[in-house]
């Protein structure tokens, strides 16, 4: 099985780091080395993972209400980072905050959730690093809850470990699959920055872009082989294309090509197994 997966011809990005796997079957390969690089807002997957570990939600649950503090409200007015428009005293439930964290990539929401959970962002970041260690993410260092810090660094292989763990949460899976939503008290629709969701089969996960990081994308897609639907996970980091927005588009485009190739080649790689998931 491992040999068949290794023979799959995938259009690996020429630059940056990339890692792809089929859940329950095995890795499809990794490119670009294992030197930690900035990951920008992909960081927020770990933020959500820790929040849900401390405050579990089932798929249909909203969780407790959280009061927006003065700091999060003031940060909402920033022009230098991605934020969500919230006001002091506003009460939003945990699910709504996760949507504001993961769809529009609200940095102020990441820090608000960190303070709600741990009292201070610093203490929350310590939890993030402990969670990373427990997942075997040996080349990852988190220095903030939002990802704006250039010294929050990881590798595609490590982030793939996180993707595997994060997608086991029904609540997180539901949120990252949303193309848009509405949140009471937040004007208009809240749109997901992950444009790859427009592609059939894609069900998540999270974008990240900045000048130090370039364009990054952690993604999840379902690929049907016979009557079995397989979860394919991928991470593309370090797509530098002149600007953060251009880098993010490059990460989306590269990921889309990888998904196309997996959809085309995975059935042949699994031939003889009747599409049944196996352990590698």
Say whether 12 sits in a helix, a strand or coil. Answer: coil
The position carrying tokens 């959730």 is 113
State yes or no: pLDDT of 201 exceeds 80.
Answer: yes
Q: How far apart are the first and last CA of the chain?
A: 7
Of 42, 73, 58, nearest in space to 219 by CA: 42
The chain-wide mean pLDDT, for the chain, equals 93
State yes or no: pLDDT of 279 exceeds 50.
Answer: no
This prediction has a pTM of 0.94
Q: How far apart are CA 176 and CA 275, in angstroms?
A: 26
State yes or no: pLDDT of 275 exceeds 80.
Answer: no
- Secondary structure in 3-state letters for the chain: CHHHHHCCCCCCCCCCEEEEEECCCEEEEEECCCCCEECHHHHHHHHHHHHHHHCCCCCCCCCCEEECCHHHHHHCCCCCCCCCCCCCCCEEEHHHHHHHHHCCCCHHHHHHHHHHHHCCHHHHHHHHHHHHHHCCCCCCECCCCCCCCCCCEECHHHHHHHHHHHCCCHHHHHHHCCCEECCCCCCCCEECCCHHHHCCCEEEEEEEEECCCEEEEEEEEEEEECCEEEEEEEEEEEECCCCHHHHHHHHHHHHHHHHHHHHHHHHHHCCCCCCCCCCC
pLDDT for the residue 191: 96
228-237 pLDDT, tens digit per residue, is 899 999 999 9
pLDDT for the residue 4: 65
Q: How far apart are CA 49 and CA 165, in angstroms?
A: 8
State yes or no: pLDDT of 280 exceeds 50.
Answer: no
25-62 pLDDT, tens digit per residue, is 999 999 999 999 999 999 999 999 999 999 999 878 99
């Amino acid at each position: 099985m491992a040999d068949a997966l290794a023979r799959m011809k995938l259009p690996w990005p020429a630059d940056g780091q990339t890692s792809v796997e089929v859940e329950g079957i095995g890795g499809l390969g990794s490119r670009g080395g294992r030197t930690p690089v900035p990951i920008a807002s992909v960081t927020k997957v770990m933020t959500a993972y820790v929040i849900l570990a401390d405050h579990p939600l089932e798929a249909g649950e909203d969780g407790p209400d959280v009061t927006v503090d003065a700091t999060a409200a003031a940060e909402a007015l920033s022009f230098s980072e991605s934020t969500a428009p919230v006001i002091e005293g506003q009460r939003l439930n945990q699910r709504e905050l996760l949507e504001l964290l993961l769809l529009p990539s609200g940095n102020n929401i990441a820090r608000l959730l960190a303070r709600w959970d741990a009292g201070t962002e610093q203490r929350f970041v310590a939890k993030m690093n402990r969670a990373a260690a427990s997942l075997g993410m040996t080349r990852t260092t988190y220095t903030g809850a939002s990802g704006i810090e250039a010294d929050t660094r990881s590798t595609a292989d490590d982030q793939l470990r996180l993707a595997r763990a994060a997608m086991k949460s029904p609540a997180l899976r539901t949120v990252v699959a949303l193309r848009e939503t509405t949140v009471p008290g937040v004007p208009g629709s809240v749109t997901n920055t992950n444009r790859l969701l427009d592609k059939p089969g894609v069900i998540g996960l999270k974008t990240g872009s900045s000048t130090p990081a370039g364009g990054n994308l952690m993604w999840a897609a379902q690929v049907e082989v016979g009557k079995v639907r397989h979860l394919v996970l991928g991470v593309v980091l370090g797509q530098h294309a002149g600007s953060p927005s251009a880098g993010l588009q490059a990460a989306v485009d590269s990921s889309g090509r990888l998904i196309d190739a997996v959809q085309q080649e995975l059935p042949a790689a699994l031939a003889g197994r009747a599409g049944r998931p196996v352990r590698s």
